[in-house]
Amino acid sequence: MMSKSRGKNSVMKDVWRRLKRNKLAMISMILLIFLFLIALFASYMIPYDYASMNAAIRLQPPNGEHWFGTDNFGRDIFSRVLFGARYTLIIGLGCTTSAAIGGVVLGSIAGYYEKFDNIIMRFIDIIMGIPVFMMALSIIVALGANMRNMIIALAITNIPAFARITRAQVLGIRQQEYIEAARSIGASNFRILTRHILPNAFAPILVQFTLGTVSVILWGASLSFIGQGVQPPTPEWGLMISAARSFLREYPYMSIIPGLAIVVTTYALNILGDGLRDSLDPRLKQ
Amino acid sequence: MEIRDICEGTNLLEVKGLEVHYIVDKDVSRAVNGISFVINEGETLGLVGETGAGKTTTALALIGLLPMPPGKIVQGEILYKGTNLVGQNERYMRKKRGGDITMIFQDPMTSLNPLISVGNQIMEVVLLHENLSKLEATKRAKMMLETVGIPGDRYNDFPYQFSGGMKQRVMIAMALACDPRFLIADEPTTALDVTIQAQVLKLMNNLKKERNTAVLLITHDLGVVAEVCNRVAVMYAGHIVENGPVEQIFNDMRHPYTQGLFFAIPDLDSESEFLKSLEGLMPDPMHLPEGCPFHPRCSHCMEKCKTEVPPNLEVTPGHLVKCHLYP
């Protein structure tokens, strides 16, 4: 069917149209945008300072004054959870973005230039061969336990996933006839890679990005939980759960609330990632 | 029909004894075995032959897109305006490709990048080869679209919004955007249906005449050859077995293989129930027979054919045949 001339980004428009039909993905996206806004403006939204302690009001269950209750130092959990969104997003997006940049560069070089393929991919295999937790822990131990080093460690452990996906895509796409056509008009390798191959490899990389963010947030929480990530009194969600673990029996809300925050965020990211994968799949094009 | 110059005219591209092998581990597949031909300015040479005869390999070698490895130009020269293209570095070839020499591919459905609008894909060629601003390049791209009969306001449309025939026109527009001297068309109409084929061929032919572009047309459709070519080269197992002006080949084919090809065209007037075909298959390029590569299938095979590769013989001026039948 022939359609009338449409706007410039009509491919993206189609993707958006298909994504809009996926209700769960849209809800997840709205939720994530909301979370993003919270992270940005948390300092104006929190009713109490997230770090100020007050022994008089410690261990209060959720009530009208402290919506999510208070912790063992009398800090307002609502304020801490809101503020924590910022750290979660910084860790999640920071790690995944740097891992994606590193992985895409390595993967596309490996996929496009055959002579580098073996060197790069065997190196990637080595990183993949080491359990994520071991790898991240050793890097953090070597560099020192703080948030920046945790981000570096998690970024490195996430590079292989991006590299493998990118390489696989590049290997497939570079066999396409339009790549040969691009070559036949005199396009350089760099141009072919950046303008013709990578945009066509974008969809699975984007999906890996959302799913990778989920795993990074969980790993970040785990590392903070064992004291190797974000340091107190920063209200990172994993760290809050860790601090609450000795009160789990009597005051479960202390760990349940930041736990729920993690679950909701990662679930939303997962659903959005699935939705994006479906809507970016050109085979579903009508 | 205009007078077809055969020997006159400036010679634009000359291939001399080109030999291309594909080497995988220790297996050598001899795809092209010492072919020579000349294409003059504004001339169309048809390269005909079965699948696997080495036509596409020849084309890729000419434009410098032969995948190396496994491909390797073992011998021979490709002279474009007197400069040997074999062994030139990538930078030099990149300049030539798209500017001087371009190629149209077989399947228009997959030859356009699905994510870039057709106009911008044409503009890309112009920007790569000519020192124009983006605005001027856009103008040129629009003009090219209109030249191939696509309204300029479809500039921003994406490939999936076009039909196969229109995509092939876009490919033609892209190939001709920088006014190349030499165009390689690798089976440009094979993937199109018959009515569209005629349109596309006519368009190519008109543009070629207007711009005096030389064309190497690869096809296995003899009807197409009769319509647009000045000269024909028949390829078999990596050899050009017969090469000559189109009338000569059509009226006075000499090589048994060419004869076989022509007799395989079904005749509407004949009573025969079965299609005529050449017995046997093309030899495996990894194990080419000794002597003339066609001898195992040839009905005129002599003892000499089994041992000696026949020389190129000029039977009439400009008409070369590689066969022992013609001393």
Tokens of B20: 């291309």
Residue with tokens 């399947």: B107
CA pair distance A161, A273, nearest whole angstrom: 15
Q: Give, in degrees to the nearest 5, the angle at Cα B277 between B274 and B280.
A: 135
CA pair distance A205, B40, nearest whole angstrom: 49
Determine the distance in angstroms separating the CA of A119 from the nearest CA of chain B, rounded to an integer.
19
Q: Roughly what angle, to the nearest 10 degrees, separates helices A237-244 and A77-112?
A: 130
Q: Do A176 and B129 touch (CB under 8 A)?
A: no
B105 to chain A: which residues are within 8 Å by CB? 177, 180-181, 184
B174 to chain A: which residues are within 8 Å by CB? 181, 185
pLDDT tens figures, B39-92: 888 888 989 888 888 888 888 888 888 887 788 888 888 888 888 888 888 888
pLDDT tens figures, B268-297: 776 666 766 777 777 887 888 888 888 888
Q: What is the mean pLDDT of chain B?
A: 82
User: Which of A3, A8, A178, A194 should be substituted to probe chain B, the one whose Cβ sees the most B Cβ atoms within 10 Å?
Assistant: A178
A184 interfacial to chain B (CB closer than 8 Å): yes
CB A13 within 8 A of CB A7: yes
Tell whether omega for the bond before B180 is within 30 degrees of 0, i.e. cis.
no
Nearest to B178 by CA among B78, B97, B80, B108: B97
B257 pLDDT above the threshold of 60: yes
Determine the distance in angstroms separating the CA of B240 from the nearest CA of chain A, rounded to an integer.
25
Looking at residue B7, its pLDDT comes to 44
Higher pLDDT: B5 or A70? It is A70
Determine the distance in angstroms separating the CA of A99 from the nearest CA of chain B, rounded to an integer.
25
Q: Which of B94, B96, B158 sits opposite A11 (nearest CB)?
A: B158
Q: Do B63 and A178 touch (CB under 8 A)?
A: no
Looking at residue B115, its pLDDT comes to 82
DSSP assignment of B58-103, as one string? HHHHHHT---TTTEEEEEEEEEETTEE-TT--HHHHHHHBTTTEEE
Q: Do B153 and A188 touch (CB under 8 A)?
A: no
CA pair distance B317, B136, nearest whole angstrom: 47
- Chain B residue with minimum CA distance to A174: B113
B6 pLDDT above the threshold of 70: no
Q: Do A11 and B161 touch (CB under 8 A)?
A: no
Determine the distance in angstroms separating the CA of A125 from the nearest CA of chain B, rounded to an integer.
26
B111 to chain A: which residues are within 8 Å by CB? 177-178, 180-181
In a 3-state reduction of DSSP, which class is residue B20? Answer: strand
A205 to chain B: which residues are within 8 Å by CB? none
CA pair distance B62, B13, nearest whole angstrom: 9
A286 interfacial to chain B (CB closer than 8 Å): no
Looking at residue B263, its pLDDT comes to 79
ipTM above 0.90, yes or no: no
Output the CA–CA distances (angstroms, integers) from residue A132 to A136, A162, A229, B130, B185, in the order listed: 6, 15, 14, 51, 52
Residue with tokens 């400036």: B10
CB A145 within 8 A of CB A229: yes
Determine the distance in angstroms separating the CA of A171 from the nearest CA of chain B, rounded to an integer.
15
Q: Which of B102, B128, B158 sits opposite A187 (nearest CB)?
A: B128
B38 pLDDT above the threshold of 60: yes
Cβ atoms within 10 A of the Cβ of A95, count?
26
Which stretch of DSSP H or E encloses residue A266?
helix A253-280
B19 pLDDT above the threshold of 70: yes
> Of the segments A13-17, A165-169, B203-207, B211-215, which one has the largest average pLDDT value?
A165-169
Q: Do A186 and B129 touch (CB under 8 A)?
A: yes
pLDDT tens figures, B112-161: 888 888 888 888 888 888 888 888 888 888 888 888 888 888 888 888 88
Residue ranges of chain B whose CB lies within 8 Å of a chain A CB: 63, 65, 94-99, 102-103, 105-107, 110-117, 124-125, 128-129, 153-154, 156-158, 160-163, 171, 174-175
B197 pLDDT above the threshold of 70: yes
Residue with tokens 């009439």: B316
Q: pLDDT tens, position by position, for chain A (286 residues)?
A: 344 444 445 667 777 888 888 888 899 999 999 888 888 887 787 777 777 777 777 777 777 777 777 777 778 888 888 888 888 888 888 999 999 999 999 999 999 988 899 999 999 999 888 888 888 999 999 998 888 898 999 999 999 999 999 999 999 998 888 898 888 888 888 989 988 898 888 888 888 888 888 888 888 888 888 888 888 778 888 888 878 888 888 888 888 888 888 889 888 988 988 888 888 765 555 4
The arithmetic mean of pLDDT across residues B81-110, rounded, is 83
Residue with tokens 């340091």: A231
Tell whether omega for the bond before A233 is within 30 degrees of 0, i.e. cis.
yes
Cβ atoms within 10 A of the Cβ of A54, count?
12
Q: Do B158 and A188 touch (CB under 8 A)?
A: no
Question: Could you give the maximum distance between any two Cα atoms of chain A, in Å?
Answer: 77
Looking at residue A206, its pLDDT comes to 85
A10 interfacial to chain B (CB closer than 8 Å): yes
Q: Which of B94, B153, B163 sits opposite A5 (nearest CB)?
A: B153
User: Which of B111, B171, B176 should be substituted to probe chain A, the one whose Cβ sees the most A Cβ atoms within 10 Å?
Assistant: B111
A282 to chain B: which residues are within 8 Å by CB? 114
